[in-house]
Structure 1
């Protein structure tokens, strides 16, 4: 069955799904209530305002082919205090079950956890919930020492290195079969930016790695964005040399600890996307960061790579103590849909704030997201 997965903690359908989850869960525990308003406060808050409760987390929804609204959801909690990320609130509406929706949600949650660099992911499940428990075990989760002492609650964990190795084996098999991969060269760059594959992986770049890729893959991504009309601080045509010089300055900021850089790599190590997180340096702003230069090559779009890059930066920001993120983007641009879908809130619009690559002044919308 075809299922569309999206990240959106503000989706109007989400409160209904979470409310149904908690009502059933309370009934199974012998504490049945008839309405969301009667749930314990901690659960009621999730059902009434999930965008506020899960502000630092990844909320995924699944919509079956031909349906108008999502039929299932899952939450990937951001890692905190050195603990592995945790999967919570897996729920599929009863009328949509046994169609692979839960498995699709879990697969995407695991993929995003691996993309964020996590070595493992964990979850809890009541021992009487046989179907979810069978699903988790089929995905490689194993029982571990309990971190939650409630009776009848099982604690499970999955090591993600196995998932990464499986992806590498898949790539090798596809290569052996002669699977074609479209590659697009940009300027004089030695490193090519390849079309997306399931093996695209997101990883943090060291300052030296940023310098090494500045004149090749990173410059190609920036030039491609400007050529595609993105308002990212440059006018067209953008020379590779100018793009490389900008990334060299970014490498210096990374070395100084004020900017973090993540890149998405294709199967051959080629770069398909990038995002940076800039930390405020003023004494009264050290709780704040800015998402800057979220770029996905035009040949790699349409497969959720932008969401993965953004989620990785958000998770790292939360794990390192930041509580607020900000960004700005051209008003009515495709990027706005991504940010709104990922739970960002528009703070306001400034007319004629920045020129587009053609030099025409355009409005800019400011966004923010609370992480804690």
Structure 2
């Protein structure tokens, strides 16, 4: 029997660079709309992770059997008028582990951390029609709006995105 799912915050990407790069490549190849189009070069994925290390970006990973199988980022707004809000970004689960509760566990951890940092508003966006819409709705996120033609898909079509929010009230 495998080890239980662990969710933890990464303070540094360094030794996890290869696993994070592989996860990003796999998720993009599987069609996720997270800012990249397939085929994603490993070098481009690694460059992305190098830019993630920022004091206002908290990175959480999900591990099973000591392998990274998912990630989520919590972007803490550093603006004077935004100290009460945060944004969820790049919620991903490895294609082999989808629909097993990893996304929900990562999202719950990010929400807990947002609360610990005094954030009462969380925002996020996702491609219309993706399974993630069901996850966000089931976790109490409220649809704020839809923007057509927001992101290009691998087929070249322009897909709409849905913006969501959740308040701590």
TM-score (ref. length: structure 1): 0.44
Q: CA deviation at 1:198?
A: 5.5
* Corresponding position of 1:192: none
Give distance in 2, aligned partners of 1:359 and 1:287: 37
Residue in 2 that maps onto 1:217? 19
**3-state SS, counterpart of residue 308 of structure 1:** helix
- Looking at CA atoms only, which structure, 1 or 2, has the larger radius of gyration? 1
Look up the match of 1:357.
Answer: 154
Equivalent position of 2:137 in the other structure: 340
Secondary structure class of the residue paired with 1:284: helix
**What are the within-5 Å matches in structure 2 for residues 152-163 of structure 1?**
none
Question: Any runs of at least 4 consecutive aligned residues in structure 1 with deviations exceeding 6 A, and if so which?
Answer: none
Q: Is the alpha carbon distance of 1:334 and 1:328 closer, same or farther for their aligned partners in structure 2, counting shifts above 3 Å?
A: same
**What residue number does 2:62 align with?**
264
Unaligned ranges ≥5, structure 2: none
Flag structure 1 segments of 5+ consecutive residues without an equivalent. 1-173, 175-196
After superposition, residues 267-346 of structure 1 pair within 5 angstroms as 267=65, 269-346=66-143
Q: Could you tell me whether the CA contact under 8 Å between 1:329 and 1:366 is conserved in 2? A: yes
SS in 2 for 1:238: coil
Q: Provide the aligned length of Structure 1 versus Structure 2.
A: 169
Return the TM-score normalized by structure 2.
0.95
CA contact (8 A) 1:230 1:356 kept: no
Which moves more between the two structures, 353-362 or 274-283? 353-362
Instruction: Answer yes or no: is the 8 Å Cα contact 1:211–1:247 preserved in 2.
Output: no
Q: Which residue of 2 aligns with 1:204?
A: 9
Q: Per-residue deviation at 1:221?
A: 1.4
Deviations 1:136-178 (A, max 9, x none): xxxxxxxxxxxxxxxxxxxxxxxxxxxxxxxxxxxxxx4xxxx
Q: CA RMSD in A?
A: 1.2
Larger strand percent: 2
C-alpha change, 1:298 and 1:229, in structure 2 (3 Å) is: same
Tell me the secondary structure at the aligned position of residue 61 of structure 2.
strand
